[in-house]
């Protein structure tokens, strides 16, 4: 198990466009394993490779804690509906804000064996896919926040 350092907002690596993965090498497998370990260690529901400083089109997502998706070269095929809710990011620690996303997403990606698969997602999983894919093109959720970026701690006090 290897935990990698999570890059935070202000780090230029988070603003870059990531490159497509052409083949799975032992280093790619190690990266994916480390990304999963790093995501779980940080109690996140998703992590994109640039967040650990690697400019490759790879994300890991697990909104249930027991069902991880590895998405390599992911592409969104279809979206519909809308959901507005609080979003957060391991690269923007302690902050949260309201972001509107599609409520349904259909995407295609490769798994860790470079087998293509489609995924249909709603609600939190749909939100996570949109959020993580944005990272691959150098975008953070803070660009899409409606109103103020808030301190997550303040929010918890209000509720």
Show which residues are catalytic.
132
State in angstroms the smallest separation of the CB of 131 from Ni ion.
Answer: 5
Interacting residues of 63 by C-beta distance below 8 A, sequence separation 6+ = 45, 46, 124, 125, 128
State in angstroms the smallest separation of the CB of 15 from Ni ion.
Answer: 13
Q: Which residue is nearest to Ni ion (CB)?
A: 89
**Which of 49, 52, 72, 89: binder of Ni ion (CB under 5 A)?**
89
Of 90 and 109, the one with the shorter C-beta distance to Ni ion is 90
Of 143 and 148, the one with the shorter C-beta distance to Ni ion is 143
Of 61 and 72, the one with the shorter C-beta distance to Ni ion is 61
Structure-derived torsion over alpha carbons of residues 13, 130, 4, 37, reported in degrees to the nearest 10: -170
CA distances from 127 to 21, 141, 158 (A): 23, 11, 24
Of 24 and 36, the one with the shorter C-beta distance to Ni ion is 36
How far is the C-alpha of 63 from the C-alpha of 159, rounded, in Å? 22
State in angstroms the smallest separation of the CB of 132 from Ni ion.
Answer: 7
Does 128 sit near Ni ion (CB under 5 A)?
no
How far is the C-alpha of 133 from the C-alpha of 131, rounded, in Å? 6
Find out whether 71 and 59 touch, Cβ atoms under 8 Å: yes
Q: If binding means CB under 5 A, how many residues of this protein chain bind Ni ion?
A: 1
Binding site for Ni ion (CB under 5 A): 89
């Amino acid at each position: 198990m290897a935990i990698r350092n999570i890059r935070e907002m202000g780090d230029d690596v988070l603003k870059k466009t990531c490159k497509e993965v052409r083949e799975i090498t032992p280093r790619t497998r190690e990266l994916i394993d480390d990304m999963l370990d790093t995501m779980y260690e940080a109690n996140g529901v998703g992590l994109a490779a640039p967040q650990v400083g690697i400019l490759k089109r790879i994300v890991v997502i697990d909104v249930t804690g027991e069902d991880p998706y590895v998405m390599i070269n992911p592409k969104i095929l279809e979206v519909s509906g809308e959901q507005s809710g609080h979003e957060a990011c391991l690269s923007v620690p302690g902050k949260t804000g309201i972001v509107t996303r599609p409520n349904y997403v259909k995407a295609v990606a490769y798994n860790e064996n470079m087998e293509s698969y489609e995924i249909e997602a709603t609600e939190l999983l749909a939100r996570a896919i949109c959020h993580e894919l944005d990272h691959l093109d150098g975008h953070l959720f803070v660009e899409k926040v409606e109103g103020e970026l808030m301190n997550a701690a303040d929010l918890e006090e209000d509720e």
